[in-house]
Structure 1
Amino acid sequence: MTKHNKTRGFEIAKGYEERDIRLPIRQTTFAAGYDFEAAEDVTIPSIFQVLFNKLLKKLNSEENLTEEDNQLLKPTLVPTGVKAYMQEDEVLLVFSRSSGPIKRFLLLSNGTGVVDKDFYSNEKDDGDIKLQFLNFGILPVKIKKGERIGQGMFQKYLLTDYDRAKGERKGGFGST
């Protein structure tokens, strides 16, 4: 029996083995993206609720805003429980689903997620791919476990003639 060398694909991240996680798949023959699902239920608060309920009250009381107040508007991370492996000259690009903004008022706050090869099995979170969302609607949005939340596409990338990168990833999400 011959051993199959892995080229690119998805695996369940550590800690999610017993949580009924489905690996991303393409839904149709000509779909470019692999659909990611939420690994758990997550509620994404409305940025307007945060502004009105917390920040405006504070401003009306003439208190000064602090860096802690700024943190209230941070995106909500939605874990997928999935990690990706790929070749040395590849990257996984993660996009919002096209229905996210129009139907649910959800934006992928970083525009496009970039999952590098060395994110796979990192020591912090084993490479669990998380999508970061902002909700610009007026009501909170509830994402259910198993709901499709994004799509990923593997791509080749090129290096410049003078590229000399030697660093190594030490952490997980946002560590580079």
Structure 2
Amino acid sequence: MKRGFAVVNKYANANLSLPSRSTEHAAGYDFQAAEDFILPSIWRMPFLKVLWQIRHNDVVTSESDEQASKIIKPLLVPTGIKAYMGDDEYLMIANRSSNPLKRGLILPNGVGIIDADYVDNPKNEGEIFIQMINFGLHDVTIKKGERIGQGIFMPFLVTDDDQKQIKKTRQGGFGSSGIN
């Protein structure tokens, strides 16, 4: 097979649906949450405290800054899905257009890139996670099976001298190119 999706072993018995396109001309395959997941709102203490301090030209301690940074850190919503594709392809993960508009959910990195060698990596079997932040006022509960993002298979090009460059074999999982 040239490209497609499979369920990772961790979710083998979870009755997950493989990503699919909703309409005949849709570019993206809809990804669903593998389990119920609470995505907390960023509008909580200590993030609000740091905003207040900045607004009032108050000193922001490194401890306050660190605590606030934890609040706005993106979370990884599991899909239980891995993707396989040709060596000259990648899977682009994009937000659903309704997420920011209706729910205040965004992908902080804009898009995610799943490389062909991410599948079956030793760290997490190539499970795709969708990185999200909730800018809404309230925590959002994402239910198992709820559509949370979309994946679009894309070809890519390399430079003329790419073959001369030494490449390493991917060892890591999410956010890893295998290069330390």
Structure-1-length-normalised TM-score:
0.89
State the match for 2:62 in structure 1: 65
Q: Distance in 2 between matches of 1:102 and 1:63?
A: 32
- For residue 156 of structure 1, report the CA deviation from its aligned partner: 0.6
Does the 8 Å CA contact 1:119/1:127 hold for their aligned counterparts? yes
Matched, 1:38 2:33: yes
- For residue 47 of structure 1, report the CA deviation from its aligned partner: 1.1
SS state at 1:149 partner: strand
State the match for 2:14 in structure 1: 19
Q: Distance in 2 between matches of 1:130 and 1:156?
A: 21
User: What is the percent sequence identity of the aligned residues?
Assistant: 49
- Equivalent AA in structure 2 for residue 86 of structure 1: M
79-88 or 67-76: bigger deviation: 67-76
Question: How many residue pairs align between the two structures?
Answer: 170
Moved over 4 A (4+): 54-60
Deviations 1:45-98 (A, max 9, x none): 11112412x7569999x7723374223321011000000000010000010000
Matched, 1:90 2:85: no
SS state at 2:102 partner: helix
Compared CA separation, residues 99 and 63, structure 1 to 2 (3 A) = closer
Compared CA separation, residues 58 and 43, structure 1 to 2 (3 A) = farther
Q: How does 1:6-155 map to 2 (within 5 A)?
A: 6-50=1-45, 51-52=47-48, 55=50, 64-66=61-63, 68-69=66-67, 70-155=69-154
Does the 8 Å CA contact 2:79/2:128 hold for their aligned counterparts? yes
State the match for 1:172 in structure 2: 173
Instruction: For structure 1, list consecutive stretches of 5 or more residues without a partner in the other structure.
Output: 1-5
State the match for 1:3 in structure 2: none
SS state at 1:100 partner: helix
Q: Distance in 2 between matches of 1:57 and 1:19?
A: 44
Deviations 1:129-175 (A, max 9, x none): 00011111111111000000001010110000121251111100001
Structure-2-length-normalised TM-score:
0.87
- Equivalent AA in structure 2 for residue 160 of structure 1: T
